[in-house]
Chains A and B, each alone.
Chain A
């Protein structure tokens, strides 16, 4: 049989149409097969092995709805922000927020009643940024915190004690820098991203005060930032490492003697160095200073565009309020996270000894969470200024003045409309 050009093109077109009509997107899986409505539940991609299987197992164990887990790599915040604008987004989603504008824009559902009776059991520091005008908009899943990892042996060899002030940290980083190893790793951008407001809290200030005003309009702020600049200028910082601060690889590969990272990295660090490491809070600076530890929490939120609001809320309550066994497994079995429930955190055996216990103690004594009023616009303005101070040696006072101006404009925008 000869194949004419027309037959060939026609067949091709027909096949193309068939393919285009196919509905298998390869995104099934993780379905619980439970009775009831179908709910889609989004998670960002966790780095720790086993987490994905775990959340799919939890979803499969729920029998009142058919929960489909989507494990989403890539820019998760952007993906959820865009998905919330449409009806095809998730019903339940994990969010590093929600942001004030998402709450105000009515994009997430009020979850206050899910926490009836157990609200006091949730860590108040991480619950505060999920709360707006007395209503709760997401259920905190686990508490994440950042700490400074250091190698005990390297500090001892250099005759140093663990740095207790920011000045000591600057000196220690300089002393520990050798031809092969840098003193400190604050992320590939020199710390502007991950440190954020931490140096300000270490100087006894804050990002936004309790009254909703700018919290760092103070000369101590410029002094603290200038010291972070010193770390960069003295070439004590590791920059351009293959993995960023959230991954302990740079520390484990001995590219740096100290690294700012998350508590989640602790199992990997302990595997590499045994007992030869310790953790510290960000050290205090100046007379009014106090050590600072940033804590935060991914929360489970319900999209306001879901068609099954009641079912979605019940599922969130089941997973993140009632099923403490799943919460414990999620927090402690893969990486190290502190359970968001204080009763669970107290019983968490892996967190009661060694550096992990120190870290947990720091989080209760020195923990701070970015306030809800610290909006992305404020964060960008501050982070740009911090980057210019650290990398280009811009004058911290002048940079901070312009940030204070922008942040107070932003604060008055978000507080004007809420009243």
Chain B
């Protein structure tokens, strides 16, 4: 999400100027022709432009972004599919067709299948955890009578922090392995030994670091979404519930708040899953070093990054992995949309 957002932003900016040329030419070039030229071209140009030039304006506004999407998303996507059928070491214009060899190699590669598991476990854990944490933050902030804006901002602020910066702070100062790291200092008060948080695989402490940094960064953002949802619930419902004798607390939450938040919840879950799928930044910045990446907690994007873009430069194999990953994501997303009843929720919520 973050990487792509930045990418399309850049694309948009880079493209913004370009279509002006053709559009402008269409305006200036044709105007003289439509004036004096009585031929059949004038009605055609006018028809093409649509009533009140609507078609023209449609393309002026949509064109740059459609073009950016095409050039920076669909062309690379198609190219990657093409590469995945070739032996493409250190080249993007390969000649040696290998059929499905890259796909079979990737599926037999334990490192890749392990990375898919890593990814599944991570998603299964981080989505419910972030959901619960941000919902409870929202419920708490929503009940505040004073300083609500203050707490809302405080919890939201981490969302403005970059993943890379947060990961480095977590790695260098909070969870470094030496005695003066924050976590180890706290352990030291209780007389415990220092722990190398990111290098210990038994128990897997590195998950603590990865999960906390993501929670810290994300929870505030989803809290704001939940807050907006909570504030849209009509107070009359709570009043009616109170009149009917519903006990405040769990019963009201279970039967009024949560059902009313359904639309928000669906959106939050969807965004969380997409974010988990794109896990790269904090993993890479926490665990990689100059010599590579350890074989644990390696999500598929990190693994493919090393296969295709690292010194390995095996772009064919990397593309095959990317296509497989895209298929997995597509299946999960469609399944999720079906299961959560996307669209249906919108009608109910609105």
Q: Is B178 in contact with A97, judged by CB distance below 8 angstroms?
A: no
Which residues from A are CB-within-8-Å of B13? Answer: 16, 20
C-alpha gap A238/B196 in the complex (Å): 8
Q: Is A239 in contact with B313, judged by CB distance below 8 angstroms?
A: no
| Chain A binder among B118-126, B155-163, B230-238, B284-292 | B284-292
- With A105-B89, A246-B290: A78-B181 Cβ-Cβ less than 8 Å: no
Selected contact of B16 from candidates A16, A104, A235, CB within 8 Å: A16
Q: Is B17 in contact with A241, judged by CB distance below 8 angstroms?
A: no
Which residues from A are CB-within-8-Å of B313? Answer: 81, 99, 101-102, 376
Q: Is A387 in contact with B91, judged by CB distance below 8 angstroms?
A: no
C-alpha gap A99/B310 in the complex (Å): 11
Cβ of A268 < 8 Å from any Cβ of B? Answer: no
Cβ of B309 < 8 Å from any Cβ of A? Answer: yes
Q: Is B311 in contact with A97, judged by CB distance below 8 angstroms?
A: yes
What 1/0 flags go to B292-319 for Cβ under 8 Å of A?
1011100000000010011111100000
- With A180-B179, A377-B314: A187-B289 Cβ-Cβ less than 8 Å: yes
Which residues from A are CB-within-8-Å of B14? Answer: 20
Cβ-closest chain A residue relative to B284 = A75
Measured between C-beta atoms, what is the minimum distance from B27 to chain A in Å?
16
Which residues from B are CB-within-8-Å of A380? Answer: 111, 292, 306, 312
What 1/0 flags go to B272-294 for Cβ under 8 Å of A?
00000000000000000111101
Pick from A97, A187, A188 the residue with the most CB of B within 10 Å.
A188
Measured between C-beta atoms, what is the minimum distance from A175 to chain B in Å?
18
C-alpha gap A235/B193 in the complex (Å): 11
C-alpha gap A281/B200 in the complex (Å): 27
Q: Is A188 in contact with B309, judged by CB distance below 8 angstroms?
A: no
What is the total number of residues of chain A having a CB less than 8 Å from a CB of chain B? 49
What 1/0 flags go to B305-344 for Cβ under 8 Å of A?
0100111111000000000000000000000000000000
Cβ-closest chain A residue relative to B183 = A240
Measured between C-beta atoms, what is the minimum distance from B270 to chain A in Å?
32
Cβ of B197 < 8 Å from any Cβ of A? Answer: yes
Q: Is B90 in contact with A105, judged by CB distance below 8 angstroms?
A: yes
Cβ of A77 < 8 Å from any Cβ of B? Answer: yes
Cβ-closest chain B residue relative to A194 = B291
Q: Is A387 in contact with B177, judged by CB distance below 8 angstroms?
A: no
CB under 8 Å from chain B, chain A span 31-51: none
Q: Is A376 in contact with B310, judged by CB distance below 8 angstroms?
A: yes
Q: Is A240 in contact with B197, judged by CB distance below 8 angstroms?
A: yes
CB under 8 Å from chain A, chain B span 188-203: 193, 196-202
CB under 8 Å from chain A, chain B span 83-102: 89-92
Cβ-closest chain A residue relative to B175 = A240
Q: Is A392 in contact with B177, judged by CB distance below 8 angstroms?
A: no
Measured between C-beta atoms, what is the minimum distance from B186 to chain A in Å?
15
What 1/0 flags go to B5-29 for Cβ under 8 Å of A?
0000000011011000000000000
Q: Is A383 in contact with B177, judged by CB distance below 8 angstroms?
A: no
Cβ of A192 < 8 Å from any Cβ of B? Answer: yes
Measured between C-beta atoms, what is the minimum distance from A176 to chain B in Å?
16
C-alpha gap A384/B306 in the complex (Å): 13
Cβ-closest chain A residue relative to B13 = A20
C-alpha gap A244/B198 in the complex (Å): 13
- With A187-B289, A240-B198, A377-B314: A81-B309 Cβ-Cβ less than 8 Å: yes
Q: Is B289 in contact with A244, judged by CB distance below 8 angstroms?
A: yes
Which residues from B are CB-within-8-Å of A189? Answer: 199, 289, 291, 294
Q: Is A82 in contact with B309, judged by CB distance below 8 angstroms?
A: yes
Which residues from B are CB-within-8-Å of A375? Answer: 312
Q: Is B294 in contact with A192, judged by CB distance below 8 angstroms?
A: yes
- With A101-B89, A180-B179, A392-B202: A187-B291 Cβ-Cβ less than 8 Å: yes
Cβ of B176 < 8 Å from any Cβ of A? Answer: yes
Which residues from A are CB-within-8-Å of B172? Answer: 242
Q: Is A77 in contact with B311, judged by CB distance below 8 angstroms?
A: yes
Given contact pairs A85-B90, A102-B90, a sample of 13 additional A-B residue pairs in the complex whose CB atoms are under 8 Å apart = A20-B13, A78-B310, A101-B90, A187-B289, A188-B198, A189-B289, A194-B291, A239-B199, A241-B176, A242-B172, A255-B178, A376-B310, A379-B292
The residues of A with any CB-CB pair to B shorter than 8 Å are: 13, 16-17, 20-21, 77-78, 81-82, 84-85, 97, 99, 101-102, 104-105, 107, 180, 187-190, 192-194, 196, 235, 238-242, 244, 246, 250, 255, 375-377, 379-380, 383-384, 387-388, 391-393
Q: Mind listing 25 A-B residue pairs with CB under 8 Å?
A: A21-B17, A78-B310, A78-B311, A82-B309, A85-B91, A85-B92, A97-B311, A102-B90, A102-B313, A104-B89, A105-B91, A188-B177, A189-B294, A193-B291, A239-B177, A240-B177, A240-B197, A250-B178, A376-B312, A376-B313, A380-B312, A383-B291, A387-B296, A391-B294, A392-B296
